[in-house]
Structure 1
Amino acid sequence: MKKLIALLLLAQIGFAQIQKVEPPFWYSGMKKTELQLMLYGKNIGNSVVSCDKATVVGVIRTENPNYLFVNLDLKNVPAGSLELSLTQGKKVEKRTYELRARRKDSANRKGFDSSDVMYLLMPDRFANGNPNNDSTSDTADKFNRSSQDGRHGGDIAGMKKHLDYLEDLGVTAVWSTPLCEDNDPKTSYHGYAQSDVYRIDPRYGSNEEYVDFVEAAHQKGIKVVKDYVTNHWGTEHWLLKDLPTYKWVHQFPGYGQTNYRMTTQFDVNASKIDSRYCMDGWFVRSMPDLDQTNELVLNYLTQNALWWIEYANLDGFRVDTYSYADKHAIAKWTKAIMDEYPNFNIVGEVWMYDQAQMAYWQKDSKIGAIQSYNSYLPSVMDFTLQGELGSALKEEESNWTNGLIKVYNNFTNDFLYPNTDNLLVFFENHDTQRFNHIYNGNFAKYKMALAIIATVRGIPQIYYGSEIGMQGNKDKGDGDIRRDFPGGWSGDTNNAFTLAGRTAEQNQFHEFTKKVFNYRKNNPVLHFGKMKHYLPINNVYVYFRTLNEKSVMVVVNNNKEAQTLDLTTYNESLAGYRTGQEIVTGSKLEINKSLSVPAQDVLIIELQK
């Protein structure tokens, strides 16, 4: 009889239907005081919701009875526990919800900027620090290092293990491709088809390990940039298997392929159907396109981003496929983050090869203003420079359009950007052809390209392995440009993480990279200095960075033969300087009437009076 009474009481008091609450916890003292909780559980949609310490200011129900969206006003609610109550008739379910205290001065955290050097790595291919998580019982894609598209076992433990290597190289910021769970049955290693955006993929580690990695990086003066995906999730996302609402994703109905034509976002002549298929089309069939115009989706993405910043103590986001999202909705998402963290930084992937079109997407763009548009996006990626570096250095005999004039011309359009210091400059990344493949491992070409991205305006970004001459051919598949870093796995015969383990060729690349990045690290003139450049002569490009009384002269000679520069050409930048020190070799140079530059070489000269 007592057992029967207990069961009856349980049926009336606790029907235990809530399966998920997201965000899983939150923070007190946020500038935006309203929080939207998403509750998920079987047939909870008709429940009456109350909270003991916060005011319920709204409850949103959708056509799916398994969801409830609850808006709470957290103004003046201190850190601690809240109690949510869901009532259906006489049945009541109670759930404790945690409000955590923020870190001291969290809102004023400083994001990455032009004083940084950013290192892009793919966790699965960088280093395997914990072989025990190479495969897990709750993820489908298993360890298979023999396949270029398989899981190779790299993880957060491997990233943490080699922070000393990155610090020594001169790196001050790390951007890793997505670490959240991607449970696609194959090719999941890249992480862009996320299946749970509140959970680190267990093959990389745990949420706690990620937080620990960020703390360890910060102790070495290295910032951490999270790769964030607003445009799409993977088909294996738990939420997409039971959609909160039909309009959570773009429906055609079902799958519709994007046309990838980002110009339709601002083309005044574009047809509506072309614009729709750009913004609403799915990137690939396995990545359903999220509908950010749905306020429920936008709130979810915004809160998830804020949660990760606060929880993991992040320094920035790189946003994947930024210009494929609805441009007005993504601007709201970006502004919400920057309002909460005014000194944070976000760089958007705007993969276009036209400066005006890229500049459209940067915050306070005068081009965007023509259409009364402001993305609020602080930084964009300088794909035009990446494109030119992939071809200009092949052209050793210059003419009106070929050779280093291409690089020069890239910077002639800087007037289009609201903030050139906040452009990400690079010559390759995880989606492009490997630079050292394009140039067949030619060290001279690497030196010129590396010196350029390290000394021009903006934030230099290098892709893992570039610094040891790593190659890879995208024509053989993406996996070939995402090879394992040698030495990241037990048993690797070549350990490029150490001086002794590197080959002579790898050391040649590494030593030059280390020298240039560490010089840059300690010289604000290369972070914030004004740039002045001169028309290339005989395929020799000369430019200066100047800040206060300090000036650095960069000479890039892509000619097959040594060149002697007539320094009177550069008098307006050289006035008052008599000598200089070349920072790679350490040699002293006379800044007199002429300067000899070796064939296919680069000089980085700190000028001295």
Structure 2
Amino acid sequence: MKRLLAVLLLSTAFAFAQAERVEPPFWYAGMHNPELQVMFYGKGIAQYTPSVSGNVPVKNVVKTENPNYVFITIDTRNVPPSDLVFTFKDTKGKTKFTRNYTLKQRRAGSAQRKSFDSSDVIYLLMPDRFANGNPANDNSGMAEKASRADINGRHGGDIEGIIKNLDYLQGLGATAIWSTPLCEDNHPAYSYHGYAQTDVYKIDPRYGTNEDYLRLSAEIKKRGMKLIMDYVTNHWGSEHWMYKDLPTYEWVHQFPGYAQSNYRMTTQFDTNASDIDAKYCMDGWFVESMPDLNQSNPLVLKYLTQNAIWWIEYADLDGFRVDTYSYNDKEGIAKWTKAITDEYPYFNIVGEVWMHDQAQMSYWQKDSKIAAIQSYNSYLPSVMDFTLHDAVGGVFNEDKPSWDQGMQKVYDNFTNDFLYPNVNNLLVFVENHDTGRFNHIYNSDFKKYQMAMALIATVRGIPQLYYGSEIGMAGDKGKGDGDIRRDMPGGWAGDANNAFTASGRTAQQKQYFDFTSKLFSWRKNKEVIHTGKMLHYLPWDNVYVYFRYNDKETVMVVMNNSNESRTFKTGRFAEGIKNYKTGKDVLTGKSLTLVNDITIEPKSVLILELN
């Protein structure tokens, strides 16, 4: 009896000492950086001494003031794909527990993977609002339950809904999909947006499983398309399991506790800024429910870097969009970005740098000459062109030409292209999940929609569409974010119409979709648009003319933003027209002679392939 009791006590102690979490949960052999930091979490785990099998060197063991964590760095150099064993011993050298750990085989050519670029058209969707492919997972035991009646609540869209509508996206002309975050966000309210994540190694079960995300990636690639993950380095959610038992006080920024960001990103490079203002920009929390991560802490930075790389390998990703990029610790985020692009030299990352000045935005792009003045390099390949977004948010209502209104605003945006190290790697857009809806701002004026889409389809950079705009979807930002994130019609059983099918679209939805599909499908194979040079002319009577050209081809774009027809002589544009005699309009198929005057209708655009 005593012996049985001793065995039971021993087995109970053994079980009690087991690691509750191991992150990353597995890794890959043959990585560029062979040093792997494995985090073990469990009650009192720091009291034990760890080792690893297979003659794998343990480079470092870090224990913090929290005894429930231990961070073990091993050297995987020349270690083949294999199963390792971590052993944890007490002070007497007795094994308390072991944990198997796998180094997996990488995909062939993984390190050289290609990414999204200026040949792509990115479709941004919010999975909860796109389509509900599997109603059975709408709640999945999570804190917030699905309720389509709540404009700010969970509506039930999921990964299965995206997979079922990939043919729709391909038919639209999209070549890459950027989904807002899909990792677990287990908050009691307003969790659908996903930017307050509570487990960054797990897909939210209301969207599906990790395996479903892998299936989405595979299905996207079958169609020759690309998958972009929305990655958040700046903050987690206040319900994150680790925030509830912090590895170290300095894992998040403390004041102590909460203090909100001042959102003044200029303090990151302003030589006149006070230290306290700069601190509150970088270290202040975005909102109270989003603890601000401390990227200057080496443990945090390594954790975020490995998590990002793990998702690239695991889900075979084609790129990142990084939320609130310029709120991060600027040195830490540069190290994070460089570590990823060192592993994947052709991997593209676009950062959200929501600023309103080209010099300030260009500061954040890789190899910026402006940032170099301060000996800084973010290593970030791409930034979002928010100044172009600012211009198109009002320009199509500015009917009368003036010194600085109307199409002059658009022209002026491109005059500052010299500030960017790589203008072809800018993300151009008219709206996203945080901004006003274009079709609301312009009262569903189809002609103005045509001009805006034609603009982002033909200028330098990578165009990004926001879901629903292609069927005329609107939404009032004044009513809150929920209204600019409406459900796609047809994504739920019982919807009045199904905009995912040609037969299910209303007349207005068909008009918008057919135009958008024609425009961006044409763009797919136009190298002159992807990488050609740009030549533009000062707007005249609110008419803006520009050319995209290379050694093989020239495209002429004419945009009339006035309420009257405009007729102009082509002689002024001889530098762009060269020896071409005619131009065929991409949108109508009509041919125009370039030796005579050209007339363009009010609020309209011509996209001419020159012959």
TM-score band, normalised by shorter chain:
over 0.9
- Structure 1 residues 335-377: Cα deviation after superposition (integer angstroms, max 9, x where no partner): 0000000000000000001000000000000000010000000
CA contact (8 A) 1:468 1:510 kept: yes
> Which residue matches 2:376?
373
Equivalent residues in 2 for 1:195-234, closer than 5 Å: 195-234=198-237
CA contact (8 A) 2:35 2:76 kept: yes
Shift of 1:6: 3.0
Structure 2 distance, partners of 1:240, 1:257, is 17
- Structure 1 residues 496-555: Cα deviation after superposition (integer angstroms, max 9, x where no partner): 111111111111111110011000001111100101101111100000100212010111
> Which residue matches 1:112?
116
CA contact (8 A) 1:230 1:320 kept: yes
Shift of 1:408: 0.3
> Which residue matches 1:177?
180
Which residue identity lines up with residue 25 of structure 1 in the other structure? F
Residue 426 (structure 2) pairs with residue 423 (structure 1) = yes
Residue 569 (structure 2) pairs with residue 566 (structure 1) = yes
Shift of 1:55: 1.3
> Which residue matches 1:48?
49
| C-alpha spacing 1:402/1:527, structure 2 compared with 1 (3 Å) | same
Residue 125 (structure 2) pairs with residue 124 (structure 1) = no
Equivalent residues in 2 for 1:261-340, closer than 5 Å: 261-340=264-343
Alignment RMSD (CA, Å): 1.0
- Structure 1 residues 152-174: Cα deviation after superposition (integer angstroms, max 9, x where no partner): 00000000000000000110000
Equivalent residues in 2 for 1:473-552, closer than 5 Å: 473-552=476-555
Which residue identity lines up with residue 138 of structure 2 in the other structure? D
TM-score by length of 2: 0.98
Shift of 1:430: 0.2
Which residue identity lines up with residue 383 of structure 1 in the other structure? F
Shift of 1:12: 7.6
Equivalent residues in 2 for 1:150-165, closer than 5 Å: 150-165=153-168
- Structure 1 residues 375-416: Cα deviation after superposition (integer angstroms, max 9, x where no partner): 000000000000100111110111101100000000000000
3-state secondary structure, aligned to 1:210: helix
Shift of 1:286: 0.2
> Which residue matches 1:72?
74
- Structure 1 residues 418-453: Cα deviation after superposition (integer angstroms, max 9, x where no partner): 000000000000000001100000001100000000
> Which residue matches 1:257?
260
- Structure 1 residues 28-50: Cα deviation after superposition (integer angstroms, max 9, x where no partner): 00010000001000001121010
Which residue identity lines up with residue 385 of structure 1 in the other structure? L
Structure 2 distance, partners of 1:126, 1:367, is 40
| C-alpha spacing 1:15/1:493, structure 2 compared with 1 (3 Å) | closer
Shift of 1:593: 2.6
Shift of 1:3: 2.5
Shift of 1:8: 5.5
3-state secondary structure, aligned to 1:484: coil
CA contact (8 A) 1:421 1:457 kept: yes
CA contact (8 A) 1:14 1:94 kept: no
Structure 1 distance, partners of 2:214, 2:422, is 31
CA contact (8 A) 2:17 2:45 kept: no
Residue 83 (structure 2) pairs with residue 81 (structure 1) = yes
CA contact (8 A) 1:11 1:91 kept: no
Residue 36 (structure 2) pairs with residue 35 (structure 1) = yes
| C-alpha spacing 1:284/1:564, structure 2 compared with 1 (3 Å) | same
Structure 2 distance, partners of 1:55, 1:523, is 51
Structure 2 distance, partners of 1:432, 1:422, is 21
- Structure 1 residues 445-495: Cα deviation after superposition (integer angstroms, max 9, x where no partner): 100000000000000000000101100011100000000011110110111
Which residue identity lines up with residue 92 of structure 1 in the other structure? K
Structure 2 distance, partners of 1:180, 1:222, is 21
Structure 2 distance, partners of 1:458, 1:594, is 31
Residue 93 (structure 2) pairs with residue 92 (structure 1) = no
Which residue identity lines up with residue 407 of structure 1 in the other structure? V
Structure 1 distance, partners of 2:263, 2:12, is 53
Identity across matched positions, percent: 63
Structure 1 distance, partners of 2:13, 2:276, is 53
CA contact (8 A) 1:15 1:91 kept: no
Residue 4 (structure 2) pairs with residue 3 (structure 1) = yes
Farther off after superposition, 319-328 or 584-593: 584-593
Which residue identity lines up with residue 236 of structure 2 in the other structure? W
3-state secondary structure, aligned to 2:393: helix
> Which residue matches 2:582?
579
CA contact (8 A) 2:87 2:95 kept: no
3-state secondary structure, aligned to 2:331: helix
Structure 2 distance, partners of 1:15, 1:91, is 13
> Which residue matches 1:25?
26
CA contact (8 A) 1:567 1:594 kept: yes
Structure 2 distance, partners of 1:471, 1:385, is 20
Shift of 1:17: 2.6
3-state secondary structure, aligned to 1:190: coil
Structure 2 distance, partners of 1:549, 1:57, is 55
Shift of 1:15: 5.0
Structure 2 distance, partners of 1:475, 1:111, is 36
Residue 374 (structure 2) pairs with residue 382 (structure 1) = no
3-state secondary structure, aligned to 1:238: coil
> Structure 2: which 5+ residue stretches go unaligned?
none
CA contact (8 A) 2:40 2:70 kept: yes
Shift of 1:580: 1.5
Structure 2 distance, partners of 1:350, 1:581, is 38
Structure 1 distance, partners of 2:114, 2:568, is 42
Which residue identity lines up with residue 117 of structure 2 in the other structure? D
Q: Which runs of 4+ in 1 moved over 3 A?
A: 8-16
The alignment covers a number of residue pairs equal to 607
TM-score by length of 1: 0.99
CA contact (8 A) 1:359 1:416 kept: yes
| C-alpha spacing 1:445/1:13, structure 2 compared with 1 (3 Å) | closer
CA contact (8 A) 1:322 1:349 kept: yes
Structure 1 distance, partners of 2:552, 2:196, is 50
